[in-house]
Amino acid sequence: MATTELHPALAEIRDDFLELSLKDRLQLLLEFSNELPELPERYSEHPDLFEKVVECQSPVFIFVEVDENQIVHLFATAPKESPTTRGFASILAQGLGGLTADEVLAVPDDYPQMIGLSQAVSPLRIRGMTAMLGRTKRQVREKTAVK
Amino acid sequence: MAVETDTTPKFAEYAHPNRLVSTDWLAEHLGDTDLVVVESDEDVLLYETGHIPGSVKIDWHTDLNDPVTRDYIFGEEFAVLAGSRGIDRNSTVVIYGDKSNWWAAYTLWVFSLFGHEDVRLLDGGRDKWIAEGRAITTDVPEITPVEYPIAERSDVEIRAFKDDVIDHLNVGGTLIDVRSPEEYSGERTTAPAYPEEGALRAGHIPSAHNVPWAKAAAEDGTFKPLADLNEIYREGLGLDDADDVIAYCRIGERSSHTWFVLTHLLGFEGVRNYDGSWTEWGSAVRVPIVQGAERGEHVVK
């Protein structure tokens, strides 16, 4: 079976996590959480555009933009009281943002299981991130199909 | 030595007033030698974003569950966990958390499996503490580990397994399903907006009453006063003081909250939490299930 090379942006995030102890991985996840950017103004007034990721324990909303160069931008918003969910969203926003639509679609669905968080966070919680990735890819598919 | 009981009048009404402390009480007692404050949240990182000064974190999943078997940790691991948090066998442990203390109640219930005597909840939990503008810090407290004895976990008095539930059904015992009405009726197997945790069938255990756990909590996350709780459980379900009750939800977390209410606030003595809950029952072979909003009947075969 052919294995596709993981995109460098995602490989770097994975390696950053894997070289840490379990405890420090949580700390790095918290840093990601704190780095989740505020929504750009053009979207902050439009909650209607966002899709709720119902599989996540905490309310998180994502919105995917594919620009004219087929570059993907991922926007996400989750409450401050949900740092883990924010962290997951931030990893995806940083890891997927700037990739082409094809590159995003090629990301393995089990990427969330590759970054060494299952044990630190629990497999149950990781499912939320898997769901976010799945929804992101679906939105990319929908948005590239219309064009 | 145990730290003094909170004498707030609201608590005095409850069966075990010593199981709750108010935010005022906690603010006054922070730093007491025999007190350890524990935060337990649904979100594994919430403690790191800010917690009550001096409090330690215990995560329901990564700390209390066995990493391999679907079970809780045993006495040896619990001794290490408690000791590492500066808790000795005589400590007064006050637990607080997010979501109306839902996960804090779960941690309290696990502490009770090990027979830790003085364990209490902060009424209103994390949200109330923060809403009142009280101190929060990201400083990690320096803990001097202490010795905690290896206490045997007792799964008999307050924990029920699947076979116990079947026996309970056969003698007509009371069951309380504390999940949402949608999960109870079988429209869905997860709480609205919660992840799928895997159950092959949807519905509820025959004859179970449906009383969502949050009915016991007021808007501000505190427990409702005794009169309201009596109306919900004693009058609403016709529960008698001598009744044995088993509460369940999806993985035993929400039902820990109800277990706390029935045991410590209302004073029922035979309440067990079925932690296998729907993720076990809903996938088990040949156990009876009822769908729809009606309780249904258990037919003894």
Give residue-wise pLDDT tens across range A54-111. Answer: 555 567 888 899 999 999 999 998 888 889 999 999 999 999 999 999 999 999 999 9
Alpha-carbon distance A56 to nearest alpha carbon in chain B (angstroms) = 6
Model ipTM value: 0.81
Ramachandran sector of residue B215 (left: φ over 0; alpha: ψ -120 to 50; beta: rest): alpha
Measured distance CA(B101)–CA(B52) in Å, rounded: 15
Measured distance CA(B14)–CA(B20) in Å, rounded: 9
For the whole model, what pTM was predicted?
A: 0.90
Measured distance CA(B137)–CA(B140) in Å, rounded: 8
Whether the Cβ atoms of residue B50 and residue B137 lie closer than 8 Å to each other: yes
Measured distance CA(B201)–CA(B289) in Å, rounded: 8
Number of alpha carbons in the 13 Å side-chain half-sphere of residue A87: 26
Number of alpha carbons in the 13 Å side-chain half-sphere of residue B136: 16
pLDDT value of residue B28: 97
Measured distance CA(B174)–CA(B247) in Å, rounded: 9
Whether the Cβ atoms of residue A75 and residue A93 lie closer than 8 Å to each other: yes
A3-47 pLDDT, tens per residue? Answer: 568 999 999 999 999 999 988 999 999 999 999 988 887 777 777
Whether the Cβ atoms of residue B158 and residue B113 lie closer than 8 Å to each other: yes
Judging contacts by C-beta atoms under 8 Å, the chain B residues touching residue A58 are: 42-43
The 8-class DSSP code of residue B45 comes to: T
pLDDT value of residue B122: 98
Measured distance CA(B127)–CA(B141) in Å, rounded: 21
User: Partners of B294 in the beta sheet?
Assistant: none
Interface test with B, best of A86, A122, A126 (most B CBs within 10 A): A122
Whether the Cβ atoms of residue B288 and residue B282 lie closer than 8 Å to each other: no
Indicate the burial class of B161 (C-beta count within 10 angstroms; 0-12, 13-18, 19 or more): middle
Alpha-helical runs (H) found in chain B: 9-12, 23-29, 75-84, 102-113, 125-131, 162-170, 181-185, 226-229, 236-237, 254-260, 277-281
Is A116 at the interface with chain B, CB within 8 A? no
Residues 1-30 of chain A whose Cβ lies under 8 A from any Cβ of chain B: 26-27, 29-30
Whether the Cβ atoms of residue B6 and residue B25 lie closer than 8 Å to each other: yes
Measured distance CA(A86)–CA(A36) in Å, rounded: 7
Measured distance CA(B74)–CA(B162) in Å, rounded: 20
The 8-class DSSP code of residue B65 comes to: B
How much of chain B is in helix, strand and coil states, percent to nearest 5?
30, 15, 55
Q: Which helix (H) or strand (E) holds B48?
A: none
Nearest to B43 among A27, A54, A82 (CB): A82
Interface test with B, best of A119, A125, A127, A133 (most B CBs within 10 A): A125
Closest CA to A91 of A24, A18, A143, A17: A17
Q: Which helix (H) or strand (E) holds A29?
A: helix A22-35
B64 → chain A, closest CA residue? A122
Set B21, B119, B249, B265: catalytic member: B249
Residue spans of chain B under pLDDT 50: 193
Whether the Cβ atoms of residue B192 and residue B182 lie closer than 8 Å to each other: yes
Alpha-carbon distance A69 to nearest alpha carbon in chain B (angstroms) = 35
Check pLDDT > 50 for residue A1. Answer: no
pLDDT value of residue B55: 98
Whether the Cβ atoms of residue B163 and residue B75 lie closer than 8 Å to each other: no
Measured distance CA(B91)–CA(B119) in Å, rounded: 8
Measured distance CA(B92)–CA(B116) in Å, rounded: 9
Q: Is B249 a catalytic residue?
A: yes
pLDDT value of residue A3: 58
Q: Do A127 and B67 touch (CB under 8 A)?
A: no
Two structure tokens written together for B2: 């145990």
Instruction: State the average pLDDT for chain A.
Output: 87
Measured distance CA(B101)–CA(B124) in Å, rounded: 7
Q: Do A120 and B62 touch (CB under 8 A)?
A: yes
pLDDT value of residue A2: 46
